[in-house]
Amino acid sequence: MKSRVFWTRRWTPLRPHPVQYRLWRSTARFVGVPAGRRSGKTEIAKRRLVLALAQPKPWHDPRYFYGVPTRDQAKRIAWQDFLDLIPDDWIPGGKQGPAVSRSTLTIRTIFGSELHVVSLNRPQRLEGNAWDGGVLDESSDLRPKTFDLSIRPAISDRIGWVWRIGVPKRQGLGAAEYRDFCEKCLADDFPDGQCFCWPSSDILPAAEVNHARDTLDAKDFREQYQASWETASGQIFHAFQAEYNVRPCPYLPDQAVVVGSDFNVDPMAWVLGHRHKTPDRLEWFDEIFLHNSNTREALDVLWQRYQGHRGGWQFYGDASASQRNTAAAASDYVQIANDERFKRAGRTMHYLRDNPPLDDRLSACNGLLENAAGQRRMFIDPRCKHLLADLQQRCYRPGSRKPADSAFRGRQMGHITDAMGYAVYYLFPIKLRLDKPVQVIA
């Protein structure tokens, strides 16, 4: 498309960069850009939006948005830039005319298209209109589910496109969701999605990067300037490192399967592994993660996957399973105990009468991931995506020792690592003996 946008002084040439060039040429509908601070991602996204304003559409009113977490950010980092980028003769009546609304941060063009600079502290503002495309900036700070519940439905009518950009932060309301989106795009696991990443050192002068290196701590520097996904501050599973704890963990038909279970209804989360004796270690090879489910359905899924298993089954889990009822009107604990399929397959059940203290359970997990001697005795297969997400992102509330799981409600954070933790605490307790009576059913 030929364009006159380069007539404005704001369109100065950008430094050539191969990844930025591929981003600019991308035709993917959904794009993630977790790039370094001051590295050009926002400038490229703004220019892409301005070019879109002149693109012909089958309808008379194309609409585009540039969304940030707050209105202050919308005015401070975006509004004036768009006024500078859009040529005067694209706006009927000029930039001081009625086509530019400074109260609603809206610009209407001679092509019939509109650009809306919006704050997403209330993402419902975008609902009710059909949108042709847009950019979500500072994505780590957006409210969870903003894209899924508000943006995606609003672009469906016109098959609109969205760029999600921002520094790959380890903190922020939407940090876990943004990371998940970018990682899925990198793994080709998000339909029509692509991800582009580059460090600030590719763009900024070396002196600026060196100054940042001298003044920031290691994690902040890697996050802000090297575009590195760091583990969350206050990370619960601080001993976990994907480089060392993630590896292929084979399923062995003749060895007992350890089943760690959390009996939440949504999600119902179970992990499956083997305990190896030489050296003594625990390897998780699979997971079950079901929404709006119950114990009966989880047992059915487990049996369907591994009904030919010959090595026996060992069930570990939430002690409360023996006390509360599911929708099936029978306790989770009793359902497992009475399942004839697993009885015949040689199952045993191992439950504490009461759940261990949370700190003890988490300490047992960290001690298995890496102990004080630097030994790692717990490994996770890459197929266990929900378990790995929890291990990487689950963190404490600021200033407390309580998990910040409620902040990640859209991701159902916590349940699957709880399932893992019950088994770990039983099999590898942090004390020489368990200080709670143990109930074992053969």
Mean pLDDT over 374-394 rounds to 93
Predicted pLDDT at 261: 93
Does residue 152 have a pLDDT over 90?
Answer: yes
Distance, in Å, from the CA atom of 300 to the CA atom of 302, rounded to the nearest integer, reads: 5
Mean pLDDT over 168-175 rounds to 83
pLDDT category of residue 2 using cuts at 50, 70 and 90: very low
Predicted pLDDT at 77: 87
| Long-range Cβ contact pairs of 366-372 (< 8 A, separation 24 or more) | 366/237, 366/238, 366/239, 366/240, 367/239, 367/428, 367/430, 368/282, 368/424, 368/428, 369/237, 369/239, 369/240, 369/241, 369/245, 370/239, 370/241, 370/244, 370/245
- Which pLDDT tens digit goes with each residue over 366-380? 889 988 778 899 999
pLDDT category of residue 318 using cuts at 50, 70 and 90: confident
Share of the chain above pLDDT 70, in %: 88
Q: What is the fold of 5-225?
A: Rossmann fold (3.40.50)
Distance, in Å, from the CA atom of 220 to the CA atom of 211, rounded to the nearest integer, reads: 13
Mean pLDDT over 41-54 rounds to 96
Does residue 411 have a pLDDT over 60?
Answer: no
pLDDT category of residue 106 using cuts at 50, 70 and 90: very high
Q: Which two tokens stand for residue 55?
A: 């693109």
Mean pLDDT over 178-189 rounds to 93
Q: Is 258 left (phi over 0), alpha (psi -120 to 50) or beta?
A: beta
Q: Are 154 and 102 in contact (CB under 8 A)?
A: no
Mean pLDDT over 202-218 rounds to 80
- The mean pLDDT value of the chain amounts to 87
Does residue 1 have a pLDDT over 80?
Answer: no
- Which pLDDT tens digit goes with each residue over 112-127? 999 999 999 888 878 8
CATH 3.30.420.280 in the chain is located at: 242-441
CATH 3.40.50.300 in the chain is located at: 5-225
Q: Which two tokens stand for residue 303?
A: 């049996």
Share of the chain above pLDDT 90, in %: 62
Mean pLDDT over 249-273 rounds to 94
pLDDT category of residue 438 using cuts at 50, 70 and 90: very low
Predicted pLDDT at 9: 64
Predicted pLDDT at 84: 94
Does residue 248 have a pLDDT over 90?
Answer: yes
Q: Which two tokens stand for residue 206?
A: 């070396």
Indicate the range of 55-59, 230-234, 247-251, 307-311 predicted with least confidence.
230-234
Characterize the bridge pairing of strands 347-352 and 313-317.
parallel
Indicate the range of 43-52, 87-96, 165-174 predicted with least confidence.
165-174
Mean pLDDT over 284-290 rounds to 97
Instruction: Please state the pTM of the whole predicted model.
Output: 0.57
Cα–Cα nearest to 394, from 236, 249, 248, 272: 236
Predicted pLDDT at 251: 98
Predicted pLDDT at 407: 46
- Which pLDDT tens digit goes with each residue over 322-341? 544 444 334 888 899 999 99
Question: Counting runs of H as helices and runs of E as strands, what totals does the chain give?
Answer: 15, 15
pLDDT category of residue 145 using cuts at 50, 70 and 90: very high
Predicted pLDDT at 211: 75
Predicted pLDDT at 93: 93
Mean pLDDT over 189-210 rounds to 92
Mean pLDDT over 234-245 rounds to 88
Domain 242-441 has CATH 3.30.470.20: no
